[in-house]
A and B are shown apart, each in its own frame.
Chain A
């Protein structure tokens, strides 16, 4: 009689031991997307949210068809902290390696976010033959130039978001020239953050605008990451009678800059080539409307409401429903598109094999949230355009009465650029 309970316990343990391994063996192994993102910053958390939203939608429709078998995506995010001041690039590299080795990521998506970290991570991706799609941050043209220069080594690296060269030459400069023509402005003052893409971008804009006949005031003012006082720079802009203040900074403190600009009533239009704070929907409330008239470039359409493609507003609404606010930073719509592009490539490849997926990604041609999405087969950079039917289209908006109104390019514009009352002559 005493043996009976003991036997029952043994039977239960045996049953559990047999049942659980069998259960896990039968469970479908998800496709792991490893996301190295700087999650404390908008370019990190917006990408995380957008990737999560896309993956939920894809999984909700049955997942990815890999050679006839439906498999779900699984997102693994690790904070790289690469946008934080003083955090070395090696931190981001450790995160990428951890995602590959410990989390068994099949693909890398999102970041690293900082250009310096992403460039350093390319060798790691090449070493592990890990296909990666950059979706946020990383504006440096060096990224896709390296792929083109050494294709065999770096062919696993793709970028689905815009890059500085096109952004400057194709969008920012034409937009500045348009403003100059419309309002008779031609004195440019440049304020940039001390990071690679901003230094490069600010320098190029200064050179090109000078060639285009604008008067560029002095050298770009360089601010260290984390700066919280811009008063002396703004006073210089005022003293030198600047018409436009070009800002290229990806730190949240840029909202301070705009508050100071408003308080000092500087008679120059703030133009954010990259301006993290002003990109976000919460900016208006955070600055109590002091950021009105600020222009902000958000790299890809869909990061502010527009009708670039039939999918654009659907995405904006879906994001709003899932996260309670409109798409936030310049990496949102591109991060949302990346899982869809990857899904399609895997389905066409019929496999998760890196070589096959690379070949399939190179053949991508779909109309997404921000226009037609194709990769340059040599550099793996998404092909840009001012027309959403021809390529990935960008967006420059202006804050007007609490709304982000798209003003450039004309093909998707929802309104016209306005000057602050203290600037109107």
Chain B
């Protein structure tokens, strides 16, 4: 039961971490390597609002997520738009931005374990004989809601349908009057907000450290590669696959090998099914 409960929690956490990355790539085809940095930035912004400005916690979370969304949009508008369509340049540019943000934070003194956020609800309960704290249960609840919201948003709203149109065929979407750059800004902003949401949900369980940015990026990439680049449904499925595999590894092999799972998943996917579980890049498989 412990494996099931904590495997489920771990999977939802991974899905939350990866959704933003999957969404941006799925719509604008931009691999946002600044994803991890935006996650950490949102954590520090929330911390600043809560601890320094002493704002109300829920308000701080909303403001921090909006700020992160704006930062993401601005990154696209001022930098990524210039290299759009050049895959290698997009990777280099977004990774460089992420690196600059993370190392800049470190340089400005955001280091150590003292940057923490309060949990949403203190205490824990016994779930089939396994202790689980309320905050983790909230993470699971919000995670499930977000997946449902994303589905409704992309299937039943004008902006969502526009984003899907872009993801399916950018040229056809352009012919139908959808502004691809505007949609890409929306996608980048929305993806960044999702990174921010993951941060405000998961960081209260630990502390805000710059190094988390690199780990989050690695996990997001692993989930998206296994799920299939561009498919957020695939990302959710892959999150469950990797999430449970990690917990099983910790229990039966040892915690030391937990990170290896994500890396091994990347390698195996690239060897056996390069376009991932739900990827649409069939040309990759054809080449293989």
Contacts and interface: CB of A to CB of B under 8 A. Distances in A.
A404 to B, nearest CB: 15
Interface in A255-311: 255-256, 259-260, 263-265, 276-277, 280, 282-283, 285-288
Interface string B13-55: 0000000000000000000000000000000000000000000
Interface in B256-278: 256, 258-259
Contacts of B215: 226, 228
B211 A286 contact: no
A85 interface: yes
B284 to A, nearest CB: 29
B179 to A, nearest CB: 40
Contacts of A226: 211, 215
Nearest to A231: B6
A300 B256 CA distance: 30
B258 A276 contact: no
A231 B131 CA distance: 10
B256 A84 contact: no
Interface stretch (B77-85, B111-119, B147-155): B111-119
Contacts of B258: 224, 227, 229
Contacts of A264: 124, 131, 133
A302 B258 CA distance: 37
Given A232-B247, A238-B131, A224 B256 contact: yes
B16 to A, nearest CB: 14
Interface stretch (B180-188, B189-197, B201-209, B228-236): B201-209
A256 B133 contact: no
Nearest to B114: A282
A40 interface: yes
B171 interface: no
Contacts of B123: 263
A222 B254 contact: yes
Contacts of B111: 40-41, 45
A253 interface: yes
A264 B10 CA distance: 16
Interface string B214-243: 010000000000000000000000000000
Contact of A280 (B10, B113, B133): B113
Interface string A229-269: 11111010011000000000000111110011001110000
A283 B113 contact: yes
A221 B254 contact: yes
Given A255-B206, A256-B205, A259-B205, A84 B112 contact: no
Interface residues of B, number: 34
Nearest to A44: B111
Nearest to A234: B131
A42 interface: yes
B206 A228 contact: yes
Interface string B152-174: 00000000000000000000000
B47 to A, nearest CB: 11
Nearest to A235: B2
B112 A282 contact: yes
Contact of A265 (B116, B131, B135, B207): B131
Contact of B209 (A223, A239, A252, A282): A252
Nearest to A325: B114
A284 B106 CA distance: 22
B251 interface: yes
B106 A277 contact: no
A194 interface: yes
A233 B255 contact: yes
A41 B135 CA distance: 28
Nearest to A222: B256
B85 to A, nearest CB: 32
The list of the 9 closest CB pairs from A to B, nearest first, reads A252-B113, A256-B206, A263-B133, A282-B114, A222-B256, A264-B131, A277-B113, A232-B250, A255-B113
Interface of A: 40-42, 45, 84-85, 194, 221-224, 226-233, 235, 238-239, 252-256, 259-260, 263-265, 276-277, 280, 282-283, 285-288
27 contacts: A40-B106, A40-B111, A41-B112, A42-B113, A45-B112, A222-B254, A222-B256, A223-B255, A227-B255, A228-B215, A229-B10, A229-B258, A231-B6, A232-B6, A235-B6, A252-B207, A253-B206, A254-B113, A255-B207, A263-B124, A264-B131, A265-B124, A277-B113, A282-B112, A282-B114, A283-B113, A288-B118
Given A252-B112, A263-B135, 7 more contacts: A40-B106, A221-B254, A228-B212, A231-B6, A235-B131, A254-B113, A288-B116
